[in-house]
Amino acid sequence: MKDVLAFVMAGGRGERLMPLTEDRTKPAVPFGGIYRLIDLPLSNCINSQIYKIIVLPQYKSQSLHDHLEDGWNIFSQELSHFLKIVHPQQRIGLDWYRGTADSIRQNLYLVERHRSSHVLILSGDHIYKMDYSQFLKYHKEKEAHITISLLEVGTELAYQFGVAEVDEEFRILGFQEKPKKDPKTIPGDPNHILASMGIYIFQTEVLIDILKSGNEDDFGRDIIPKLLNSYRIYAYPYRKQNKIEDYIYMTMEDGERRLQLEAHTRDSAYWRDVGNLDAYWNANMDLTGVDPYFNLYGQKWPLHTYQVAAPPAKFVFATERADGFRVGKALDSLVSPGCIVSGIVRNSVLSPNVVVRSWAQVDESVIMDRVVVGRHCRIKKAIIDKNNVIPAKTTIGYNPSEDRKRFTVTPRGIVVIPKGYFREEE
């Protein structure tokens, strides 16, 4: 889509994801073993044939910058394709980016320079697959000045979101900010609301006029509600409109695996804002299992990322010794390159170069780069950040009161080990 310029908001502090965001911005947090959160919207852009992308980082962005520089240097300048990383430059004042609208305003010269007919604005830390070409087609069919992608969720979740009020044509009439009761529902569907996903598409000239005529910081909170009477603003009902056709491997009743093309409705409807540690753990667990809620293995809608230079994963089996068999197994799990598994891993996600030593057990956990799980360890429902060497016979996730003495434990009981907490084997 040559007429679209995409901005990806990548400056999130991610305070509710601490300690994972102690040294990295939220879009740089690892996900699914080999990915970072920002890889999802960037892959959506590439798969939607959007090749003009500007990433706007801010806080603790070095890890993100390194990842993009190493893994996303895939664009052709000869074809006017690019991915630019634009940090705050104080071009129009002394402030950092104060919000979504302010970050675009501070870089309005880039919008004017490239002069695409439309500007797509995305968050850099949501998990979903979306065909932005369908989004643009819908926007044009409605003859809209602005279109916002909105998620259909149950009314019981309205208090968590900004809720759009729409007419039967899905033109937006009003907004409710996290209503505690009586939210405006979808016309003809009293059980569901339209919740903001933070995804916008603007006619470029409209965006320029709006940003030059005001000084508001945020699109959703400040600008959109003020424009409802003066511009044609429409809702894009994500789960009803977004369809991702993909080739995926299906396991047949006789055990044979076949490559099958289908409109993968589960992926097309999936969207997660990993705003806290429990949501982050849940999203990773959604990748595991025989029929995962979010499938990474599609052929037509691949997810791109930096490929770590690491050997294939290895699973160790050894004959019986005095202390028992060494059997390396990973069941319903994602195991990245460079991993060596001598213990048993179940329903877990292992990033590159993880070692699970003999007789260790890892269940329902997210293990990041260069973690060593010592012999006879028992790890359950944990998130372990990189560069940890966990001593032999350590137990994590089985005694919440003991875990809270040393680590962050979420409301759901997920134990979070910060980067480099365990530095040497005992």
Q: Give the tens place of pLDDT for each residue, 395-407.
A: 999 999 999 999 9
The SS3 call for residue 316 is: coil
Mean pLDDT of 249-262: 55
pLDDT of residue 252 exceeding 60, the answer is no
**8 Å CB contact between 5 and 109:** no
- 194-234 pLDDT, tens digit per residue, is 998 989 999 999 999 999 987 888 888 788 888 999 999 99
The three-state (H, E, C) secondary structure of the chain, written as one string: CCCEEEEEEECCCCHHHCCCCCCCCHHHCEECCCEECCHHHHHHHHHCCCCEEEEEECCCCHHHHHHHHHHCCCCCHHHCCEEEECCCCCCCCCCCCCCHHHHHHCCHHHHHHHCCCEEEEEECCEEECCCHHHHHHHHHHCCCCEEEEEEEEEHHHHHHCEEEEECCCCEEEEEEECCCCCCCCECCECCEEEEEEEEEEEEHHHHHHHHHHCCCCCHHHHHHHHHCCCCCEEEEEHHHHCCCEEEEEEECCCCCEEEEEEECHHHHHCEEECCCHHHHHHHHHCCCCCCCCCCCCCCCCCCCCCCCCCCCCEECEEEEECCEEEECEEECCEECCCCEECCEEECCEECCCCEECCCCEEECCEECCCCEECCCCEEECEEECCCCEECCCCEECCCHHHHHCCCEECCCCCEEECCCCCCCCC
Q: Of 176-180, 199-203, 252-256, 261-265, where does the model show the most confidence? A: 199-203
Q: What CATH number should be reported for the domain whose range is 314-417?
A: 2.160.10.10
Kindly state the percentage of the chain with pLDDT values over 90.
65
Q: How far is CA 294 from the centre of its chain?
A: 12
pLDDT of amino acid 267: 79
pLDDT of amino acid 176: 83
pLDDT of residue 58 exceeding 90, the answer is no
- 404-418 pLDDT, tens digit per residue, is 999 999 999 999 999
- 305-356 pLDDT, tens digit per residue, is 999 999 999 999 876 665 566 789 999 999 999 999 999 999 999 999 999 9
pLDDT of amino acid 262: 53
Q: What CATH number should be reported for the domain whose range is 4-241?
A: 3.90.550.10
pLDDT tier, 426 (very low <50, low <70, confident <90, very high otherwise): very low
CA nearest neighbour of 186 among 141, 235, 143: 235
pLDDT of amino acid 320: 61
pTM for this entry: 0.91
Distance CA 410, CA 426 (A): 27
Task: Locate the domains of the chain by residue range.
Answer: 4-241, 314-417
